[in-house]
Copies of this chain bind each other. A is one copy, B any other.
Amino acid sequence: MSLRIAIFDDNKNIRESISLLLSTVPQFEVVGSFSHVLDCVEDVKECKPDIILMDIEMPGMTGIEAVVKIKKEFPQIQVLMQTVFEDDDRVFDSICSGASGYILKNFLHTKLLDSIQELQYGGSPMSPSIARKVLNKMQTVATHIRPEEKIDYQLTPREKEVLSALVNGLSYKMIAAELTISYETVRSHVKKIYEKLHVASLTEVVAKAINNRIV
């Protein structure tokens, strides 16, 4: 069973040398080769690739934006980003866009064939330095979103209801109506919430509630 591959790269030489390289593997079939991604969705619809090799820097629209569009239409297609750059933003954005692999161009000649096969078998080929960046990012992101602030403020169920209503922008009156309790009761709950969260204004409550994912 052959594997259909499409190439997006604004450099003609690179497209051709990649094609040549791929042609050495019998089951690889280059079904499309494009110099820009302005019509990428149509192009992909036409040539129906299993795997796309996507350059990042291209005129008009970047490969990253293209991947977003393509993955939206054809989520099953695997995209391998290839670029000369390895700045954090590009790497991170590529991953978020839905790419399944990311290799630097100076690894192309030695690793491209392996990478494609790895993709095919459910792996995510990455150049070593990219893999390291990804892991580091994971670490910082994880310790950033997870940890600490998952303090338990010991809010009662009712207080949590009030709190989430507050975060949704309701006034005390509206909350009273919503929960069918009196305005004064809402006030009592809010006072308790203030105590428990150690804050002194509604805006602080809302900020703290959202940032600490209490609601």
Contacts and interface: CB of A to CB of B under 8 A. Distances in A.
Interface string A108-125: 000000000010011111
Interface stretch (A12-20, A91-99, A149-157, A176-184): A91-99
Nearest to A92: B142
A145 interface: yes
Contacts of A142: 92, 95-96, 141
A2 interface: no
Interface residues of A, number: 46
B145 A145 contact: yes
Contacts of A143: 96
A175 to B, nearest CB: 11
A145 B143 CA distance: 13
| Copies of this protein in the complex | 2
A59 interface: no
Contacts of A206: 203, 206-207, 210
A185 interface: no
A131 B128 contact: no
Nearest to A126: B131
Contacts of A207: 167-169, 206, 210
Nearest to A208: B169
Contact of A169 (B98, B166, B199): B199
12 contacts: A95-B135, A96-B138, A96-B139, A100-B132, A123-B132, A124-B134, A126-B126, A131-B131, A137-B138, A141-B142, A170-B203, A202-B203
Interface of A: 92, 95-96, 98-101, 118, 121-129, 131-132, 134-135, 137-139, 141-146, 166-171, 199-204, 206-207, 210-211
The 6 closest A-B pairs by CB, nearest first: A123-B128, A169-B204, A124-B131, A124-B132, A206-B206, A96-B142
Given A131-B131, A169-B207, 17 more contacts: A92-B138, A95-B139, A96-B143, A124-B134, A134-B138, A138-B138, A141-B142, A141-B145, A144-B145, A166-B203, A168-B207, A169-B199, A169-B200, A202-B202, A202-B203, A203-B203, A206-B207
